[in-house]
Amino acid sequence: MTSSNLTGAIFSTDAMQRVFSDRACIQRMLDFEAALARAEAAQGVIPETAVPAITACCDAGAIDLAALAAAAGPAGNLAIPLVKQLTAQVAGVDAEASKYVHWGATSQDAIDTGMVLQLRDALDHIDADLAQLADALAKLARQHQHTPLVGRTWMQHALPITFGLKAAGWLDAVLRHQDRLAELRARVLALQFGGAAGTLASLGTQGLQVAAALATDLGLMLPDTPWHTQRDRVAEVAAVLGLLTGSLGKMARDISLHMQTDVAEAGEPVAEGRGGSSTMPHKRNPVGCAVALAAAVRVPGLVSIMFSGMVQEHERALGGWQAEWDTLPEIVQLTAGALQQMRQVASGLTVDAARMRANLDTTHGQIMAEAVTLALGGKIGRMAAHKIVERACHLAAATNRHLREVLVQDTQIIAELSAGDIDRLLDPAGYTGESAAFVDRVLQTYHRRSPHSRQE
């Protein structure tokens, strides 16, 4: 439920650290307690006169966090000592009102609903950053829709693509994650309120009415049943954030590879104190990418904890639920940190189109061997053409010559293709297939999804 450490500024964000701070965690549980008092009073379960004192004391600033932490171990959770402190504070204001603190609820109701309220805040921040990342990627995709780039498979030169297509691929994934995050809200942002065994028996015939009023007060969905040991909701959050972090890691991997000195096709934003080395003044390290990649390494294991914890015992879990308390906030914080870094990287990414074009010539025309093969194959058959062009590629490599030089000297080839044909076939910009069309398709989806978006 909380997270704070010296590396928080690296792997999280200021906003998300506030969402999952110790004080915010306690405040969200107290928000549940205050709303519970209002809902129960409205349904005649507790006296209206008890509400002012209870709600006035539901202030995390008045809670002794150190004492709370010390008592949580023996108690088994934070809610028990929190309710004890809250009751004592209410008693100091109104002894009669203190009788009705936490009336009919159980510890898990306060803890889970508090977590849901934290998740709502967290998802708002993630949605905002994700929208900004989409804007930045859409701009890159449009600007570089026709910028030729080496396409690489198995880490080797394959065929020409465009940098716009690569950016559109990143954007396409982001748009799907926006869909997933929007869809899960209706399932995940749900009240937890079931009392001791999930029956609300302590509230007599008023249980459902109180639950409905409580959900309305907190702005949460009222589920059909309490979900004390049905953990698919929080596991879904973990899973979707795991998917998002994986896509951010993919983007970070691509950009960091483009940043390698020997490739030098793109670079993270340049800023004072960013990406330097403690000993090598020339270094320009992909520090934003490193954060996203670290998150992509850490989050899958944490997601597996959330999945493992779903197998719970009867009406209250022994271990599985408790394993979520620090795990889910860590997933959210790592995702937020990776997302912020990649948003900043994408917004300030430097793209060297000239270097991209130069790298296309690294293999001295061999990157275009497929184009030559297909053109020749149209004359003599694909398999025969493949054998002839493969032989030409091997000869070009062995003699350190450009493929064109070898092709125009091959009698079998020149009998079917003119020197002009070969020059045209060896132009990388003419062999990017449907790259531009794919970019257009992704951008159309982006604009339909984001009608408010700025034109790239």
Q: Which residues are catalytic?
A: 277, 316
Q: Phi/psi class of residue 160: alpha, beta or left (left: φ > 0; alpha: ψ in -120 to 50)? A: beta
What letter represents residue 23's amino acid?
R
Element (H, E) at 444: helix 435-449
Are the CB atoms for 43 and 206 separated by under 8 Å? Answer: yes
CB 168 within 8 A of CB 141: yes
Cα–Cα–Cα angle for 120, 122, 126, rounded to 5 degrees: 115
Could you identify the residue written with the tokens 């309710």?
A: 83
Q: How far apart are CA 112 and CA 29, in angstroms?
A: 8
d(CA 231, CA 313): 12
Tokens of 35: 């709303």
CA separation, residue 437 to residues 77, 165, 194 (Å): 55, 9, 53
pLDDT of residue 451: 62
Query: How much is the pLDDT for 9?
Result: 81
What does the pLDDT read at residue 291?
Answer: 96
At residue 449, the pLDDT reads: 82
Structure tokens at 354: 């000239």
Rounded to the nearest 5°, which phi and psi values hold at 350? -95, 130
**pLDDT value for 2:** 46
* Dihedral, 338, 340, 343, 348 alpha carbons, nearest 10: -110
Domains and CATH numbers, the chain: 107-358 (1.20.200.10), 366-425 (1.10.40.30)
Residues 6+ apart with CB under 8 A from 66: none
pLDDT tens digits for the chain (456 residues)? 444 567 778 899 999 999 999 999 999 999 999 999 999 999 999 999 999 999 999 999 999 999 999 999 999 999 999 999 999 999 999 999 999 999 999 999 999 999 999 999 999 999 999 999 999 999 999 999 999 999 999 999 999 999 999 999 999 999 999 999 999 999 999 999 999 999 999 999 999 999 999 999 999 999 999 999 999 999 999 999 999 999 999 999 999 999 999 999 999 997 665 555 455 555 678 899 999 999 999 999 999 999 999 999 999 999 999 999 999 999 999 999 999 999 999 999 999 999 999 999 999 999 999 999 999 999 999 999 999 999 999 999 999 999 999 999 999 999 999 999 999 999 999 999 999 999 999 999 999 987 665 544
d(CA 404, CA 139): 36
